[in-house]
Amino acid sequence: MRNRRCPSTAPGPPSWPGILLLLLALLCAACTGIKYTDQPSLLVDLTQDARPEGVSTRVLAKAEDWRNSGLLVRKGEQYAISAAGRWRVWATCAWTDADGLNMYGPFCVDWGNAYLKGWSHSALIARIGEDGAPFGVGKGLRFTAPADGPLYFIINDTPGHFGDNEGYVDVSVSLTRAAGSLALAPSPAPPPAPPKKKAAAPQSLPQAVPQAASAPAPVPVEAQPAVVQAVDHEPAGLSTGRRVALVIGNAAYPGAPLRNPVNDARDMASALRGLGFEVILRENATLRQMEEAVDELWRRLRRGGAGLFFFAGHGLQVAGRNYLVPVDARLEAEQDVKYRCMDAGLVLGRMENAGNGLNIVILDACRNNPYARAFRSQAEGLAKMDAPKGSLIAYATAPDSVAADGSGKNGVYTGELLKNLRMPGVAIEELFKRVRIGVLRVTGDRQVPWESSSLTGYFTFNPGGPGGPGGR
């Protein structure tokens, strides 16, 4: 028999769950999201307008209205959707990608009332036309359009509660082929959702959200053809000869300035331009500026070619993930890192998502952690990241180790890299081996550069004469 407590008529202590729900209800009175002001007025029909790259748009988590992709889909045609980015729907919910997996936790439950049942509140969904039925998209989907109409996207949150959302995902849609079926192709299985709880949806105070970034003005470069050699397993896009690099040097950290990163970035940018790269250069960048620069790199790599990302500055590892520190980061506790720094894995994922075939990531970011006193963990340097197929990741030192900042103009690692970068005919794997030998010599074996490679083709920075592709 279940034990029961006798009800008391005396006043008791305040009901904290009730007070909390009341406060949340008051906060949610202002949780209506924003409206897009840049919805396209004209639609692209890829069956008539041949665009191999398709169309792209940015979907804001904070936007209450459906995002018009600018694409007119045609009944019976098959389309491919891909989405990259991160967002979250409430302050206590986890940041996720467009799949929305693993967003729920002890302080974030499935309260129901999402647009599409069976998908998490932070999943990307779509519909065709103003009155079309929503369907799940996640990070990727191939589908056959059941009707003509504009294609719309939105985060799968509760209507009327978008104001506290944060982040965005960039979505690309391309035409794949005509299909015989007129029904939606099977969607990926929706992520598992926990049992629903009947309660009012909790919402927090509105948070700032990254706005749709305008493309940064490209750094002027001298147009020079770059020759890329390849073997039988040449990754797609290398034969175009295009090379695009994003170079970031952060040194002006309040309370923890560094001597070399800006010089490292400038010298690396100059060397890469001489080797035929289009270069996007950013110095002492904020988080917003870093995110916009990565977006610009992704847009350029969508057109094919080899991609390169170089970062010099402070880098941290938290819970096995690597973060690159912008100059405006205020890190008072370990949990601040994932919200105020750039996830290096996200950069790698964006480059992989571009589909260009070959990517190189160089991280001279393994210096001492200036925020260690505020952190629970004692991990130093950067954690190991496995390179996706067609990629190479180069670290200034081995995982969980610290690199030297350097006493001269350049850091030890970047200085050795610059010495070897222009050597003609040297394969990239051999080049980084030479850099490693040089750093070991300079540091007395205290710093050991390290690489993770899954390259499937042959690449050399300078396949030509002494000056590289440009002859300098």
Domains of the chain, first to last: 29-178 (2.60.120.430), 238-470 (3.40.50.1460)
Quick: pLDDT tens for 249-286. 999 998 889 999 999 999 999 999 999 999 999 999 99
Cβ proximity of 259 and 364 under 8 Å: no
Distance of CA 166 to the CA centre of its chain: 14
Per-residue pLDDT reduced to its tens digit, 387-422: 888 999 999 987 766 665 556 789 999 999 999 999
Beta bridge partners of 144: 78
Predicted local confidence at residue 401, as pLDDT: 65
At 223, the pLDDT band (50, 70, 90 cuts) reads very low
Rounded distance between C-alpha atoms, residue 307 and residue 300, angstroms = 9
Q: What is the pLDDT of residue 75?
A: 93
Under DSSP, is residue 51 helix (H, G, I), strand (E, B) or coil?
Answer: coil
* CA-closest candidate to residue 420, choices 431, 407, 412, 411: 431
The more confidently predicted of residues 422 and 112 is 422
How high is the pLDDT of residue 219?
38
Given a contact cutoff of 8 angstroms between Cβ atoms, the answer to whether 100 and 119 are in contact is: yes
Lowest mean pLDDT among 41-55, 154-168, 387-401, 455-469: 455-469
